[in-house]
Chains A and B, each alone.
Chain A
């Protein structure tokens, strides 16, 4: 903290900012965190110290005060590379704010609204002795009231909504007997949570306060003194996990998703140093406290893998030594095949992380680095500030929790694609091996036996489209993010052209990997959105989609097609895409965006090694 103050004194604001952001992610202590928030505010007037990216408009509503959230939410989102404009309405004003189509909140036009409720906002409680049926109908009424407000706000603003569920109360008037009583206060609260969790529509994302309060203990989570004093819904000691969880959801909604865990080996996945101690001496498995804790960390990693997280090894080791435990120790839950990349050598870890990112074709900011060695962690933080580095302790029993609480593993939605992630990357490796056998790229592509299915956006592929639109960075011409409901409005309109590509080859199904959206005005089609997953770069999909687009344009008797390239830090790859396809440059605007057009009759279809099956459904 002293260093940061010194940097600020010296006017080195951008250095101070990086230090603040780094520190913020390492601490979960409230006082330290608030001090960082205040230091951040001190230099906020200096624009050079604010690499502001997408400015989200976020409204915060609640049955509690919400101004305590302002500074920490700003800071926490900034650590995820997100800027925001915050709007907070007064305490307990949420009903008119959400219902009135001309309220301040609606006029603010939020991209996202955070709606915080707590048990004290429940207006209607069961009476002692009420039947299950009576309790259920009150719980329905209460939850429908809140969800109805969400529906209403969504209808007038189209915003995504984060809704908190409820923590239980510390007192139990019926003691342990309460377990059996449906009308008992906390059972009633849990029933409401259950309804919220299950009935919330897709644009409502739940902030699981119930889980957080139970993790920290209701007594610690909620400080009644400050509720009475000024309607604080969460004790300040638990503010950091609160803000971290809230920001994690926002981050995941706007594409700040972690795709890969890069893991150290010695004393991270097993106890001991394989090169020094030998395979037999390693601590992993049953019958010893430390060995069991390493085993359980591996089990936790496998659960992450099962929901789509990629695992990679990044270790300073001889390759042979590093592989030995995987091959020789049956106690190892993780197998070599669970990893999509395996880097064991003596190069700096920052170099290896860059190679891993390259191999998997993901950004460095999509990697979380897990290493027990503080020196390695610090090195990576310094060399690659984009990589997220978990602050591990020296106790393996704490590893799963520390990783879990980092807030970096949040996912906004799960699709069928996610279950198959690791397989798909392994198939990619096989493809690369085949490529190496072919001397020319063309014959390699031919050997892949590629088939594509193209269809419009439809209710079945909506989830996956939303995921692609919000997290694709490299092959993305306009990087225009759309939420689920905005995408929904594109379906079935005669003035909108949508195309989604699914690619299958001899090694497997790559799934839905490319999306194009355009609108038709007069005799021209304007491409508003064009993106493709990095998994299938250089396979001919973009040419295939362009051919398809111009086929359609001809059938619809259009004359012109317009395209736009809006540069970001990550999409240089497609800077010349339109030029390469024969489009003519109209102009380049002040922000560096280029605008292109081509007459439909001038477009020359490109031959690709993909056979096309049009309009088949996705499943």
Chain B
């Protein structure tokens, strides 16, 4: 899947989950950069991503310890069936 499509779709999900139409994300974005990113919204974010990208599923370790958005995109690239 085209990386640009992934970033666009991901940005949309971030904006919806964190209720901020102006959020801009990049590979280095981490939870501390976004005010509302806590453990509850983290789950909401991951569930939304799993739903938006067919075939993507985060494992237990990733749910707890994703380093940054770049790692998220790597996972999507490798697992997405589209």
Contact = CB atoms under 8 A, between A and B. Distances in A.
B44 A236 contact: yes
Interface in B49-82: 51, 58-60, 63-64
Interface string A24-52: 00000011001100100110000000000
Given A225-B58, A225-B60, A229-B60, A31 B40 contact: no
B44 A67 contact: no
A236 B41 CA distance: 11
Interface of B: 16-17, 19, 39-40, 42-44, 47-48, 51, 58-60, 63-64
Given A34-B44, A68-B40, A230-B39, 13 more contacts: A34-B17, A34-B48, A35-B16, A38-B19, A67-B40, A68-B43, A228-B60, A228-B63, A228-B64, A229-B39, A229-B63, A236-B44, A237-B47
A226 interface: yes
A236 B51 CA distance: 11
A67 B41 CA distance: 11
Contacts of A237: 47
Contacts of B51: 30-31
Interface in A212-270: 224-226, 228-230, 232, 236-237
A224 B59 CA distance: 10
B60 A224 contact: yes
Nearest to B13: A31
B47 A229 contact: no
Given A31-B51, A38-B19, A41-B19, A226 B63 contact: yes
B43 A230 contact: yes
Contacts of A68: 40, 43
A226 B64 CA distance: 9
* Contact-size category for A: 10 to 19
B47 A236 contact: yes
B28 to A, nearest CB: 23
15 contacts: A34-B44, A34-B48, A38-B19, A65-B40, A67-B40, A224-B60, A226-B43, A226-B63, A228-B64, A229-B39, A229-B42, A229-B60, A229-B64, A236-B43, A236-B44
The 9 closest A-B pairs by CB, nearest first: A230-B39, A236-B47, A225-B60, A229-B63, A225-B63, A38-B19, A229-B64, A226-B43, A31-B48
Contacts of B39: 229-230
A455 B57 CA distance: 64
B51 to A, nearest CB: 6
B53 to A, nearest CB: 13
A68 B39 CA distance: 10
Nearest to A67: B40
A80 B58 CA distance: 36
B47, B51, B59, B63 interface centre (most CB from chain A within 10 Å): B47
Nearest to B62: A225
B59 to A, nearest CB: 7
Contacts of B58: 225
A48 B44 CA distance: 29
Contact of A232 (B16, B43, B64): B43
Contacts of B19: 38, 41-42
A242 to B, nearest CB: 14
A56 to B, nearest CB: 23
A309 B39 CA distance: 43
Contacts of B40: 65, 67-68, 230
Contacts of B44: 34, 236
Contacts of A226: 43, 63
A224 B43 CA distance: 12
Contacts of A65: 40
